[in-house]
Amino acid sequence: MTRIAYVNGRYVPHHEAAVHIEDRGYQFADGVYEVIAVRRGRLVDENGHLDRLKHSLSELRIAWPLSRRALKIILREVVRRNRLNGDGMVYLQVTRGVAPRSHAFPDHRESALVVTARRLRLLQGNEADAGVDVITIPDIRWKRCDIKSISLLPNILGKQQAEDSGASEAWMVDSGGQVTEGTLSNAWIVTEMGELVTRDASRAILNGITRQAVLRLATEAEIAFSERPFTVNEAKAAREAFITGTTVLVTPVVRIDGEPVGDGRTGEFTAKLLAFYARHMDNQGKGT
């Protein structure tokens, strides 16, 4: 089946989709993006993603390409045209548009919009049991990580460093020795006292939509949590650790820099939160 993309007002075959050579996203990384999970053909936490998109666009003074209502229609149409009835993801990107190359903003306010979709097998069943390894690396990113910018070169370098080390993810560490987040995920630990800890939402991290959902689920389950920084040493001494994100859901971390976390297996808190989050996704998949 031919994949379909939406590019600036047109639905086109994915292999024919293209943007102008002077699109500012291409030349300056002057744009933002969102990745939305699809569960049984339905968008997961769509409003949360669009709220964050609003924040990113506002902070960069990029105009909405169209109304929020119209964007929702396009997202659903892309899902429909790609026959994404099961699990997958939708990618949307907004840039400042096309203009002659100049660092200053162009006079116009015509942003550019691209939306694509693809099938994706989300974490299922006993795949969570194995867990993943992470390494720690210096955080070399800019100081506005709360904006979901398409400028991801530090994240790419970090992710490749993890791959080269035989790990699945890299946790970035600030100059104070505290973990900020992963290259594509938020970082969590469970202390020996059973407290759930994740870095507070500030300009130092991206406030993940899955992160927000897990915090709500923890509140509902009366699981004690704290939003604060934690050090690498604290993470290595933790009872459990895990990562969250749109495509990784809630994934256990069983080793940090080669050292086992807890007993080196998925812990009870992580398993419980994964089950809660899977139910959360399934409920949206049922349209509830």
Three-state DSSP class for residue 217: helix
Phi, psi (rounded to 5 degrees) for 228: -160, 160
Helices (H), 85-174: 127-130, 153-164
**Which amino acid appears at position 286 of this protein?**
K
Beta bridge partners of 95: 31, 112
Q: How far apart are CA 54 and CA 34, in angstroms?
A: 11
**Which are the contacts of 102, defined by CB distance < 8 A and separation ≥ 6?**
none
Q: Which two tokens stand for residue 72?
A: 């929702």
- Name the strand (E) or helix (H) holding 143: none
8-state DSSP, 14: G
| Residues with a known catalytic role | 148
In our burial notation (b when 16+ CB lie closer than 10 A, e otherwise), range 109-126 reads eebbbbbbbeeeebeeee
Which tokens is 268 given? 């009870």
**Cα-based torsion angle of the residue sequence 74, 79, 80, 86 in order, rounded to the nearest 10 degrees:** -160
